[in-house]
Amino acid sequence: MATRPEIELVADEALTALAAPGFCRRVCAALEAAPRRLWLNLEGVKATDVTGLAALVQAVARAGAQATPVSVLPSAAVWRALLAAGLLEELPLEGPGAGPAAPVAAPEPPAAPASVVARTARLLLRPPAWEELDLFERWAQEPLLDQMVGSPLLYLGRHLRVHDPEFVARALHDPAALTLLVVPAAEGAAPVGFVRLYGVNLLEGFAFLETAVASVHGLRAGWGVEASRLALAYAMDALGTRRVEAKVYAYNVLSVNALRRNGFRLEGRLREARTYADQRWDILVFAILEDEMRAQRARDGFPSLGLWEPDARP
């Protein structure tokens, strides 16, 4: 009887939201050969993000489901991302990259425009390209967004140049967050804001959601509501998220109503934790759970946004 081969799958350059579906397809193809062992060689990966890490965790689970031993050979960039995400002990790491990694240089900036990760008939979500980081510098100076959202990412953008390595890492290659531009589907339309899944815990399946639309007109057009729903569907399908939390200032009635429309429930409040217009205001804590997300998803009718084909999900 012929000995089953070992298969090495090599990933180069980036393992991000844009590359993750292709990586998962390659894993499926390799597993169809029923190898004696699958080697995931990531030693050439220079950049990753939370979706790339989700794909890696899911690939290991997929191999385990069919009793195929798997070994992961991480690069320094992957090792540090796994460290930041709390995943080092969850994966079968081997090779010279399995130990503590030295600091790594920032990866080369991506080309533009970036590919879309999710879309509806009205809008699409995609990672920002290098030259679009200037949008965050402009949005960081918008009083409306500071008053209504209080985004930590925009705070960073006010105090660092948006091409500073630290800002680039937060916006493009965060191991526990995913930042996506909200772009109307009309040809040539400019981004109207962004959604951000942050504090993502891939093991426990929870995340936090932040939505920023740059104008009152954009808010009233419903871009934030629709983008948030699409981001929730993506979080559930691609990241395996089962709970999403959002915080909102009590005076921000538009955002409070948007969260309720999207199925979020009020879970608590941080009393008088925000000063606005010379008054102290509560910060309201909303959350949505898996069954509630599925109910909202059924009403929206979004297609599958996962990284795997439906019959190959881990």
The residue count of the chain comes to 314
pLDDT tens sequence for the chain (314 residues): 457 889 999 998 899 999 999 999 999 999 999 999 999 999 999 999 999 999 999 999 999 999 999 999 999 999 999 999 999 999 999 987 665 555 555 555 555 556 889 999 999 999 999 889 999 999 999 888 888 888 999 999 888 888 888 999 999 999 999 999 999 998 888 999 999 999 999 999 999 999 999 887 888 889 999 999 999 999 999 999 999 999 999 999 989 999 999 999 999 999 999 999 899 999 999 999 999 999 998 898 898 999 998 877 77
CATH of the domain at 280: 3.40.630.30
The torsion angle over the Cα atoms of residues 170, 173, 177 and 180, rounded to 10 degrees, is: 90
237 & 293 share domain = yes
**Residues spanned by the domain of 167:** 118-312
Give the whole-angstrom CA distance, residue 22 versus residue 26: 6
Q: What is the pLDDT of residue 103?
A: 55
Q: Which long-range contacts (CB under 8 A, 24 or more apart) does 259-267 make?
A: 259/228, 259/286, 260/286, 261/225, 262/225, 262/228, 262/229, 262/232, 262/288, 262/296, 263/288, 263/292, 263/293, 263/295, 263/296, 264/288, 265/292
pLDDT at 144: 84
pLDDT of residue 297: 87
Please tell me whether residues 123 and 94 are part of one structural domain.
Answer: no
Q: What is the pLDDT of residue 313?
A: 78
The number of beta carbons lying within 10 Å of the beta carbon of residue 11 is 24
CA distances from 255 to 3, 45, 187, 235, 283 (A): 60, 38, 28, 20, 12
Q: Which of 111, 27, 113, 11 is nearest to 64 (CA)?
A: 27
Separation between Cα atoms, residue 142 and residue 267, nearest integer Å: 29
Residues 25, 55 share a domain: yes
Do 278 and 193 belong to one domain?
Answer: yes
Q: Are 148 and 208 in the same domain?
A: yes
Looking at the fold, whether 220 and 266 belong to one and the same domain comes out as yes
- Tell me if 278 sits within 8 A of 251, measured CB to CB: no
User: Are 65 and 123 contained in the same domain?
Assistant: no
The domain tally of the chain equals: 2
What region, left, alpha or beta, does residue 52 occupy, with left being phi > 0 and alpha being psi -120 to 50 degrees?
alpha
With respect to residue 103, please indicate whether it lies within any of the assigned structural domains: no
